[in-house]
Structure 1
């Protein structure tokens, strides 16, 4: 505030002089408003005496009669001087104060003009920060608002987190279409020439699940082993998961992203996918293939034709369910004589000496399995 100095009044005239007609003080401080006053020593032969003196607020009301000044305001008056002292100033004390004195003369009262204009200033109080709407969803419009009681009025600055990124110099900061990456702490600083004050608010942007990914552990799956499928999706709030196999629902909604085979079977081979969902939506993963490896099952062996005549063509066939596919080996009787390494062994013109037991072994890297068949060659 600027300070205006008034001109002194003469000693023998009615008047009030305010050394300063405009004053500034800070909220919570103490201010002294001074004045000197004058009046004729006598009038019509009667000595003039002062019978009362007080300060008026807004020119009409004795300040000491106002409850809000109780215990805070006092008059310090002596020898044609009077000081108004107000403690613990608040912004509501900003007003025009005038001194008035009354004498024993008829009509002998005088109110000094223009009075003292007091302006109580205030550094910004702790700002109030708010966000609208309270539930923040990705893509929506969101407004951050900052306000602080200050005199003179505060200027506002918005920063994100560490204060290095200036966002706005207005009381409001608006996201027209908020992103999940906008989650975080936002700081508002209110400032005037008397000081600064800051407060922060944390915003949490909700969004539906992103495209889930599925992983399989271990990568090499062997029958009887433990296998874990894991589904992960970035979501806020956190997603719940549902597992499916070839469009067959496998597991009810639950909060764990894993589906575990304690002892996987060959029948568990197939296509699996997961669905991640929260209250904002759902998202389905790409399918992942589970291929369960297992050793050959007991081979199935057969002979064709069933009636074997010397000189005819005869085929022995061996098959076994295995993953990966089995390799086959044919032996006669004691296994010392290798006959074939194919699923079939063919006699183009069988002899009676070919009668006997034939063994087929199915083998892959996980193990072997064997079976035999007995053939009896008849003579014509």
Structure 2
């Protein structure tokens, strides 16, 4: 910034007293062609820097002008004045030695301080004793130092303690802004900011509140950014986990267990085997284990910071491989629909699971099959031809399995009978339908036989009647018409035959009826 040339200084002259007196009595500001204004350059000044109250459009033909601190004209608050005729400036009571006045009315402040903040008044006195006043403002802000974060609790305990973080140092007219994990603070009922945002309170701190946290300071002339701050939250131990997850082993294997728990500071570990303490260690190793090593293995985790402990119990089972089972069958040959069969899977091992197989596939139970509670006995009652085949059982424990030899079941049945596979209701319906059909056919045959027997008797009577009438008619015709009529008789045979039966039945009986009919020729 290049200010205009400064005016030379001089002593106080008598006309200045008159100027002050006139200014105190005159309040009328006549209009001017160009309005006089005062501007602060820069608008916001940093403490220790220079700032200029620049005057624009200062009118000519002046008696003089002067600057006062504040918004009132008070001789004790006068900074400097200028007499135009003598071209001299005179310091006032409020002059600090850091102010410089220029011929265009501008006032320069050097090495400005926070105390310089405020309003300043320029009074201009013209030749016609007209007075004009203008006000300018200085805004002075400190250069902010680099902020840092402090905590009221260096080792808070999870879900127990609250933490207050403070952004230092405290400065006036400063804005504070917080961030966590390089992001803005999340909305949470556990986070609370002070009215000026300078302090951040975390209620009921958790392990997820470790941070890092950062604070920023800002004012119109400078900004600062703190280093990251990380909370050391004490937590745990959580319930420990024992790895690997395997719980079953064969004799002779090596048992290697490891325990882990989330904890800050790191947990201290110890072991119990069937309640017996073991040397403190995170790892447990037993070579060449035996059945006697089966039991409960307990891992204990202790946090010296929170003074809490947690434990986990794991059951280890050492099992011998299972031996081959065998099947005992009540009878290997059974009659369909009459006999039942019981198959028993025998094993020398305990604590095993038993499974059944039929024709090399897993057995699908039907309503005729039942298993004992431990699956060792399979009952089929009654057997059917589809039950015939190869049966096998398998025993297993978590470390091994074994299948028995095949056992074959034979089922005898009548080859003339077809296994319909129909339900009892369906069979009953078919039987009833067949019986009803037979009864209907018998009734029909009976009706036909009776009808044909009655028709034969009528024909015989009719024949006899016709023969008698014929003789009588012949005599009468000979006398009356003198004609000869020939009557011929023919026989019709009606065969009544019963319905066809199977080839094993007796040959059908045939009833033959002879019916005579009259055929008259003219």
How would you bin the TM-score normalised by the shorter chain? 0.5 to 0.7
Cα deviation for residue 229 of structure 1 reads 1.2
**Among 143, 149, 153, which residue is 2:164 paired with?**
143
8 A contact 2:154–2:232 mirrored in 1: no
**Among 228, 239, 242, which residue is 1:214 paired with?**
242
Aligned-residue Cα RMSD (Å) equals 4.6
Cα deviation for residue 193 of structure 1 reads 4.8
Deviation string 1:2-41 (CA, Å, 9 cap, x unpaired) is: xxxxxxxxx9644589985988542154213577534597
Deviation string 1:47-89 (CA, Å, 9 cap, x unpaired) is: x896x85576xx3x743xxxxxxxxx5x6567797854414x4
Query: 1:238 and 2:262 equivalent?
Result: no
Cα separation, partners in 2 of 1:196 and 1:39, compared to 1, 3 Å: closer
Indicate the residue corresponding to 2:294 in structure 1: 269
Cα deviation for residue 270 of structure 1 reads 1.9
Alignment of 1:298-317 (within 5 A): none
Q: Which moved more, 1:162-171 or 1:264-273?
A: 162-171
* TM-score of the pair, normalised by structure 2: 0.40
| In 2: Cα distance, 1:135 partner to 1:187 partner | 18
Higher strand share: 1
Cα deviation for residue 197 of structure 1 reads 4.0
* TM-score of the pair, normalised by structure 1: 0.53
**Among 181, 188, 192, which residue is 1:161 paired with?**
181
| In 2: Cα distance, 1:82 partner to 1:195 partner | 26
Query: 1:229 and 2:252 equivalent?
Result: no
| In 1: Cα distance, 2:16 partner to 2:90 partner | 17
Cα separation, partners in 2 of 1:234 and 1:33, compared to 1, 3 Å: same
Indicate the residue corresponding to 2:206 in structure 1: 179
Cα deviation for residue 178 of structure 1 reads 1.5
8 A contact 1:210–1:233 mirrored in 2: yes
8 A contact 2:174–2:217 mirrored in 1: no
Cα deviation for residue 219 of structure 1 reads 4.4
Deviation string 1:129-172 (CA, Å, 9 cap, x unpaired) is: 22221111112121122245555232x33333232444555322
What SS does structure 1 have at the residue aligned with 2:263?
A: coil
Cα deviation for residue 243 of structure 1 reads 0.6
Alignment of 1:92-111 (within 5 A): 94=117
Cα separation, partners in 2 of 1:294 and 1:81, compared to 1, 3 Å: same
Structure 2: state its 5+ residue gaps: 1-13, 24-35, 55-64, 67-80, 123-132, 323-347, 353-396, 401-522
Q: Please identify the structure whose Cα radius of gyration is greater.
A: 2
Alignment of 1:1-380 (within 5 A): 13-14=16-17, 15=19, 20=38, 25-27=44-46, 29-33=49-53, 37-39=81-83, 53-54=90-91, 59=94, 62-63=96-97, 73=98, 76=100, 83-87=107-111, 89-91=112-114, 94=117, 118-122=138-142, 125-139=145-159, 140-147=161-168, 150-154=171-175, 156-167=176-187, 170-194=197-221, 196-199=223-226, 200-216=228-244, 218-252=246-280, 254=281, 257-279=282-304, 280-294=306-320
Cα separation, partners in 2 of 1:249 and 1:79, compared to 1, 3 Å: closer
What SS does structure 1 have at the residue aligned with 2:236?
A: coil
8 A contact 2:290–2:318 mirrored in 1: yes
| In 2: Cα distance, 1:264 partner to 1:55 partner | 102
Structure 1: state its 5+ residue gaps: 1-10, 42-47, 64-72, 100-112, 297-320, 326-363, 367-380
Cα separation, partners in 2 of 1:90 and 1:242, compared to 1, 3 Å: farther
Cα deviation for residue 194 of structure 1 reads 5.0
Higher helix share: 2
8 A contact 2:44–2:221 mirrored in 1: no
Cα separation, partners in 2 of 1:40 and 1:241, compared to 1, 3 Å: closer
